Amino acid sequence: MCKYLSVCFFSLWAFAGFAQRPNVILIYVDDLGYGDLSCYGATKLHTPNLDKLATQSVRFTNAHSTSATCTPSRYGLMTGQYPWRKTGTGILPGDAALIIPTNATTLPKLFQNAGYTTGIVGKWHLGLGDAVAKNWNEEIKPGPNEVGFDYSFIFPATADRVPSVFLENHSVVALDKTDPIAVDYQKPIGNDPTGKDHPGLLKMKSSHGHDNTIVNGIGRIGYMSGGHTARWTDEEMPLTFLTKAKSFIESNKTKPFFLYYALTEPHVPRMPSTMFKGKSGLGFRGDAILQLDWAVGEIVKEVEAMGIAKNTIIIFSSDNGPVLDDGYVDGAATLLNGHTPWGPLRGGKYSAFEAGTRVPMLVSWPGQIKPSVSDALVCQIDFIASFSELLQQTIPSSEAADSQDMLNALMGKAKQGRNWLVLDSDTYAIIQGNWKYIVPNNGPALNRQTNTELGNNAKPQLYDLGNDIGEKNNLAEKQPAKVKELSELLQKIQGP
């Protein structure tokens, strides 16, 4: 039945004069919180471009990444498999090997199979090559191009990890081979100053960690030597990525494309371009949010200028929740001025509480999606099954097995989303309806460095999110039957 409905849907497109299937642009930002945008209630920060996009979108109030940090969320997004099903999917160092098997069904491969041209511009953080040891001065494979992207322009891990260089397809950009790059996460290499030994050379001091090799006046995680011409300038990064994303859109405007535009903002180090420095009045973190809002506006303008707006789905979301001090003295906490990056939620990045994974999510498709606000429970892990439905692509049953078809919810046609969702941080949590259960664990309640409540507790936690979105009232002792039910459901999903 579903099949015939979809056929019908496709004929309707044809009837309505659509020349081709919709382009999809997935804008994925880094560490943006549920309360960081004015369309999600922020009052001390104004994000006009995202607010405008929100007025044309389904704006989700209960959308989640799979995890409270980057690598696992991106693994879930790409593969449709919960990251905790596979070992080695935690936050990766910059020299890690690729963690997605090259024979796996992935989100970009799904689009490729449907005849799309696919591209990634921005942060990768899913590893490169077959091993940690690799030669950064030759072609580096496998990477994004081997798991479904026809074109890639990336940085390997995070903006605060070496190597602080871009790769276009398989090669480091602007590398002078007479000054070869070497990377080490165990011990210092080469003669470049480190933040630890030369704090006077830093333009932004570290508050914890981030005191290895200095690149562009900023101490990083990990050591690198060589590759001086290839090293990035943080302030230029937004324009670099935007330019590459726009040219990908322009080159592919006449055929269906999928663009994964993975912005680094507002992840540390926050070093906004001159255009945005000081603009928010909330320090560099606020400026970085204005910068990402601007980049989104430029992408929307580009799509309009290419005459493809009506045939382009734009999705916007974040890989995990917000953090203020994530290792640099950048004023994020001291200049907050009453802004609440987590909105009404508890916790933040790294946390089992809602602010760890409940993130902004907008889905727009002019003419096809009626703007609305949806409280359906959806997860980024569901994109792969949902787009396989939209594009009528079959996924082998062994693949993307945790991804659920949420197409109707994503398009604003169904109010109901998932029945349940498993989330991970130091521990596991499961949401079913309004109930949320957090598995007991002995981790610290507070990450003292970032000042984030982690949601760890040696006792079971049960919250009624319908009445207590701030997770203040632990009902586990009052509702042991509900705890048992959710704990058993979680065990069933997680398997032996």
Report the interface residues with Ca ion, using CB under 5 A: 30-31, 70, 319-320
Burial 277-305 (b: 16+ CB within 10 A, else e): eeebebbbbbbbbbbbbbbbbbbbebbee
Helix, strand, coil share (%) of the chain residues, nearest 5: 25, 20, 55
Among the listed ranges 129-137, 319-327, 366-374, 375-383, the one in contact with ligand NG6 (CB under 6 A) is: 319-327
Question: Using the rule CB under 6 A, which residue among 24, 30, 258, 377 binds ligand NG6?
Answer: 30
Q: Which does 297 bind (CB under 5 to 8 A by kind): ligand NG6, Ca ion, none?
A: none
How many whole angstroms from its chain centre is CA 65? 8
Q: Does 451 bind ligand NG6 (CB under 6 A)?
A: no
Encoded one letter per residue, x for contact with ligand NG6 by CB under 6 A and - for no contact, window 108-137 reads -----------------x------------
Among residues 257 and 342, whose Cβ is nearest to ligand NG6? 342
Q: Does 91 bind ligand NG6 (CB under 6 A)?
A: yes
C-alpha Rg value of the chain to the nearest Å? 22
Contacts of 456-465 with C-beta under 8 Å, sequence gap 24+, read 456/352, 456/426, 456/427, 460/487, 461/437, 462/435, 462/436, 462/437, 462/438, 462/486, 463/435, 463/436, 463/438, 464/434, 464/435, 465/354, 465/431, 465/434, 465/435, 465/436
Question: Using the rule CB under 6 A, which residue among 188, 199, 209, 371 binds ligand NG6?
Answer: 209
Pairing between β-strand 151-155 and β-strand 452-453 as defined by DSSP bridges: unpaired
Among the listed ranges 138-146, 207-215, 251-259, 433-441, the one in contact with ligand NG6 (CB under 6 A) is: 207-215
Dihedral of alpha carbons 333, 337, 343, 344, sign = positive
Q: Does 300 bind ligand NG6 (CB under 6 A)?
A: no
Distance CA 77, CA 62 (A): 17
Kindly state the number of chain residues that form the binding site for ligand NG6, as judged by CB under 6 A. 17
Question: Using the rule CB under 6 A, which residue among 95, 150, 160, 424 binds ligand NG6?
Answer: 160
Among residues 203 and 415, whose Cβ is nearest to ligand NG6? 203
Among residues 264 and 312, whose Cβ is nearest to ligand NG6? 264
Q: Name the residue among 7, 257, 17, 13 with its Cα closest to residue 115.
A: 257
In the complex, what is the shortest distance from the CB of residue 80 to ligand NG6, in angstroms, rounded to a whole number?
20
Beta partners for residue 151, in sequence order: 119
Among the listed ranges 167-175, 206-214, 466-474, 487-495, the one in contact with ligand NG6 (CB under 6 A) is: 206-214
Among residues 317 and 457, whose Cβ is nearest to Ca ion? 317
Max CA pair span of the chain? 68
Among the listed ranges 79-87, 205-213, 301-309, 466-474, the one in contact with ligand NG6 (CB under 6 A) is: 205-213
Q: Does 389 bind ligand NG6 (CB under 6 A)?
A: no
Q: Does 69 bind ligand NG6 (CB under 6 A)?
A: yes
Dihedral of alpha carbons 194, 196, 198, 202, sign = positive
Q: Which does 326 bind (CB under 5 to 8 A by kind): Ca ion, ligand NG6, none?
A: ligand NG6
Distance CA 254, CA 45 (A): 37
- Binding to ligand NG6 (CB under 6 A) within 416-445 occurs at none
CB atoms near residue 83 (< 10 Å): 25
| CA geometry: angle 166, 169, 173, nearest 5 deg | 35
Q: Does 211 bind ligand NG6 (CB under 6 A)?
A: no
Q: Which does 346 bind (CB under 5 to 8 A by kind): ligand NG6, Ca ion, none?
A: none
Q: Which does 132 bind (CB under 5 to 8 A by kind): Ca ion, ligand NG6, none?
A: none
Question: Using the rule CB under 6 A, which residue among 95, 287, 326, 382 binds ligand NG6?
Answer: 326
Q: Name the residue among 24, 22, 21, 37 with its Cα closest to residue 261.
A: 24
Residues 6+ apart with CB under 8 A from 1: none
Q: Does 184 bind ligand NG6 (CB under 6 A)?
A: no
Q: Which does 160 bind (CB under 5 to 8 A by kind): Ca ion, ligand NG6, none?
A: ligand NG6
Among residues 65 and 137, whose Cβ is nearest to ligand NG6? 65
Q: Which does 208 bind (CB under 5 to 8 A by kind): ligand NG6, Ca ion, none?
A: ligand NG6
Token digits of residue 378: 């959806």
Distance CA 348, CA 71 (A): 16
User: Is 487 in a helix, a strand, or coil?
Assistant: helix
Distance CA 430, CA 444 (A): 20
* Binding site residues, ligand NG6, CB under 6 A: 30-31, 69-70, 91, 125, 158, 160, 208-210, 221, 267-268, 320, 326-327
